[in-house]
Amino acid sequence: MSGRLRVVGLGPGNPEQMTFQARTVLAGASDLFGYRAYLERLKPEPGQTHHVSDNREELARAKAALAMAASGKDVAIVSGGDAGVFAMGAAVCEAIEGAPDALHQIDLEIVPGITAMLAVAARAGAPLGNDFCALSLSDNLKPWELIEARLRAACGAGFVLALYNPTSRARPWQLARAFEILQAQLPLETPVIFGRAVGRSVESVAIVTLQAAAQEKADMATCIIVGSAETRIISRAGLPPLVYSPRSSFRPAR
């Protein structure tokens, strides 16, 4: 097989937060596959074809890209953020595992990117400065009961939480339920960060207490970080507060 397949993380939406490696790969590919909102960020190179697909068609997109790479093309699949965090990396691996053995040898490269929680954290301070978990709240691909169990386990053990896919029109109550669970286990003044479209012109970052955290503050483009009991807020006159999780866990909880 002469073709190759690369899965590229675009970063959070600010083109300056893309890596040099990602830009080089995207410039050289013959064909780009991706969700419409991500491909719209990229101007096609001369001779380059963009294959746009809708959200929630990840496996079909991965199979189509794999088939085109196997036919000899230089194919890149794009993801927002990182390629491997709730993104196309796993879908491509699933497509390869399900394909005939010959396709297992496809020339594959995963190109990492800045995932949403890192960009949101950077906007707020350093809330991921101690141990943390990244958890998708979407119950499209796993049972809701498992999500609840993971929320309880993670916050019970003192992890900071980064919540991906917090809400959508098809999942109208799940985030509110998640906050209920967290409110029962964590101090109500625990900081919660809602980072929406971070890095883009429409970016918004809101820092609230867990008590005030509500489903309505999030949408599909939001990544939420919930602190641990040790996460701290530094007030700054005339500036948004800084939120950080101390590196040390020896100090008593607040």
Site for its own copies in 135-154 (CB under 8 A): 135-136, 141-143, 146, 149-150, 152-154
Burial class (CB in 10 A: 0-12, 13-18, 19+), 142: exposed
Instruction: Write each residue from 90 to 129 as x if it is in contact with its own copies (CB under 8 A), else as -, in one continuous string.
Output: xxxxx-xx---x--xx--x-xxxxxx--xx-xxx-xxxxx
Rounded alpha-carbon distances, angstroms, from residue 183 to 82, 143, 232: 30, 21, 17
Whole-number minimum distance, CB 246 to its own copies, in Å? 6
Residues within window 56-95 making contact with its own copies, judged by CB under 8 A? 58, 82-87, 89-94
Residues within window 173-212 making contact with its own copies, judged by CB under 8 A? none
Look at the block and give the residue holding tokens 């073709």.
3
Residue number with CB closer to its own copies (67 or 122): 122
Whole-number minimum distance, CB 114 to its own copies, in Å? 5
Residue number with CB closer to its own copies (72 or 240): 240
Whole-number minimum distance, CB 43 to its own copies, in Å? 16
What are the beta bridge partners of residue 128? none
Residue 1 in the binding site for its own copies (CB under 8 A): no
Whole-number minimum distance, CB 37 to its own copies, in Å? 19
Residues in contact with 226: Cβ distance below 8 Å, sequence separation at least 6, in sequence order? 155, 160, 161, 163, 182, 186, 190, 192, 210, 213
Residue number with CB closer to its own copies (50 or 150): 150
Give which of 176, 167, 148 is closest to 222, Cα–Cα: 167
Residues within window 214-243 making contact with its own copies, judged by CB under 8 A? 232, 234-239, 242
Residues in contact with 202: Cβ distance below 8 Å, sequence separation at least 6, in sequence order? 196
Q: Give the separation between CA 123 and CA 244, rounded to whole angstroms.
A: 11
Q: How is residue 253 annotated by DSSP?
A: P
Whole-number minimum distance, CB 171 to its own copies, in Å? 16
Instruction: Write each residue from 12 to 41 as x if it is in contact with its own copies (CB under 8 A), else as -, in one continuous string.
Output: --xxxxxxxx-xx-----------------
